[in-house]
């Protein structure tokens, strides 16, 4: 059987009839993840040229708890399984996922409902402990905050073909960036998404997967904080449409299919986002700013990508490199053009990591990063990170 299909089956399907084994004994997993970050002391970190996204997994300097997780999962009965992930950052707990999923609908169909990580792109469904680097790629941070979370319903169809082909559609409330809390109509969906993933084994040593995804969000009164033309902080409020296209590709190599000794993974994703609507720059004249509650049209066409390679050169040891680049593209502030400035700056970042995994349950990582995502700032960072897994934990997707 194909390795991709095996990976999907291992992570996403549970055997029908197994409910009796788990009804009163769910799998419980605790991920302990912390780090030390040596970085420039910058009070407000905004990626230049992009409206700030809301959701992020933090960038606190020094020692921090980072992002630990508690996960519970089990088959509910013969028809459903459920899973909940509670993300623990310093001083707060949030429900990152809480969903049910159908079992045995047949013909390759599954339905998931609740709060879940969207199936768009490649790494969007990965939790932070599964990332190959200590932080999320720059394009995900700029366009989604860290990853896209949906409160809604998802339909997937895994086609009955020898080549892995998967289709999915989602409808959700859309309160998470690039949506907004007031997104969508009272009875409607503020966010819809669709995706297709295709993959196969080239031979015993090589496998690949490619994907195309689309996201539509309809934020209402989405707030962001920017500096106006006088370099005074200003509150902007956007309402309109946000459309994003995503293309992803992954290629994996393991000699004769044995990934325990050596393996290599090449991964890249490209995002293109267009936003149209109205933007208000709230009056900040009392603070010395130039905004005066003017509302005007807002059009933005922006993009970005990352490419990374990770090589396990001997058992337990891996090294990897990632390159991030964003294009702030074209932005029209309409009537606010004289109050807010747009720059053609292209944020970039280089990351080099080395990690050591004594077992499949623990990992230690050193990462060196040259972050030029803010105009005029070159931030050379050093990150030391640990990730430990206690208890049962399901396999990750391909």
Q: Can you tell me whether residue 78 is helix, strand or coil?
A: coil
The first and second tokens of residue 362, run together, are: 């623990």
HSE-up of residue 8 (Cα within 13 Å, Cβ side):
22
3-class SS of residue 285: helix
For residues 391 and 248, the model is more confident at: 248
Q: For residue range 7-55, what is the model confidence (pLDDT) as tens digits?
A: 555 555 444 444 445 455 789 999 999 999 999 988 778 899 999 876 4
Residues 181-212: tens digit of each pLDDT:
876 666 678 999 999 999 999 999 999 999 99
Q: What DSSP string describes 202-237?
A: SSSSEEEEEEEEEEEE--SSEEEEEE-TTS-EEEEE
Report the mean per-residue pLDDT for the chain. 90
What are 15's two structure tokens?
A: 């055997």
Partners of 112 in the β-ladder: 101, 154
Task: List beta partners, residue 383.
Answer: 37, 367
Whole-angstrom distance, CA of residue 121 vs CA of residue 302:
17
Q: What is the mean pLDDT of residues 87-105?
A: 89
In this structure, the number of other CB atoms found within 10 A of the CB of residue 382 comes to 12
Distance CA 267, CA 349 (A): 16
pTM: 0.90
59-90 pLDDT tens trace: 688 998 888 899 999 999 999 999 999 988 76
Q: What is the pLDDT of residues 108-139, one digit of tens each?
A: 999 999 999 999 999 999 999 999 999 999 99
Number of C-beta neighbours around residue 367 at 10 A = 21
Quote the CA–CA distance of 318 and 315 in Å, as a whole number: 8
- How confident is the model at residue 2, as a pLDDT? 56
pLDDT at 44 (0 to 100): 79
Residue 332: predicted pLDDT:
94
d(CA 352, CA 361): 23
How much is the pLDDT for 52?
86
Closest CA relative to residue 57, chosen from 24, 38, 34, 40 = 34
């Amino acid at each position: 059987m194909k390795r991709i299909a095996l990976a999907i089956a291992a992570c996403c399907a549970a055997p029908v009839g197994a409910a009796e084994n788990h009804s009163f004994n769910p799998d419980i997993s605790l991920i302990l993840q912390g780090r030390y970050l040596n970085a420039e002391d910058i009070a407000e970190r905004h990626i230049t040229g992009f409206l700030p996204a809301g959701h992020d997994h933090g960038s606190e300097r020094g020692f921090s708890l980072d992002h630990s997780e508690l996960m519970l999962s089990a088959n509910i009965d013969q028809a459903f399984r459920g899973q909940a992930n509670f993300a623990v950052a310093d001083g707060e707990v949030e429900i990152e996922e809480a969903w049910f999923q159908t079992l045995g609908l047949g013909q390759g169909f599954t339905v998931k409902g609740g709060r879940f990580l969207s199936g768009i792109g490649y790494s969007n469904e990965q939790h932070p402990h599964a990332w190959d680097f200590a932080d999320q790629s720059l394009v995900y941070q700029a366009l989604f905050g860290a990853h896209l979370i949906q409160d809604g319903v998802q339909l997937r169809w895994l086609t009955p073909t020898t080549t892995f082909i998967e289709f999915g559609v989602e409808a959700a409330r859309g309160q998470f960036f690039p949506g907004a809390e007031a997104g969508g109509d009272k009875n409607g969906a503020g966010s819809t998404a669709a995706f297709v993933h295709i993959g196969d084994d080239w031979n015993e040593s090589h496998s690949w997967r490619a994907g195309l995804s689309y996201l539509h969000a309809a934020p209402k009164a989405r707030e962001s904080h920017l500096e106006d033309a006088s370099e005074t902080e200003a509150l902007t409020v956007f309402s309109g449409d946000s459309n994003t296209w995503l293309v992803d590709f992954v290629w994996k190599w393991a000699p004769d299919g044995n990934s325990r000794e050596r393996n290599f993974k090449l991964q890249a994703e490209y995002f293109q986002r267009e936003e149209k609507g109205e933007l208000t720059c709230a009056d900040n004249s009392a603070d010395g700013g130039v905004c005066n509650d003017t509302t005007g049209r807002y059009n933005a066409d922006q993009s970005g990508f990352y490419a990374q390679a990770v090589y396990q050169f001997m058992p337990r040891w891996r090294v990897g490199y990632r390159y991030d680049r964003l294009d702030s593209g074209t932005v029209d502030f309409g009537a606010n053009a004289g109050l807010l400035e747009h720059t053609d700056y292209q944020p970039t970042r280089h990351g080099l990591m080395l990690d050591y995994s004594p077992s499949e349950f623990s990992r230690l990582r050193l990462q060196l990063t040259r972050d030029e995502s803010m105009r005029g700032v070159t931030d050379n960072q050093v990150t030391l990170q640990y990730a430990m897994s206690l208890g049962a934990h399901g396999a990750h997707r391909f």
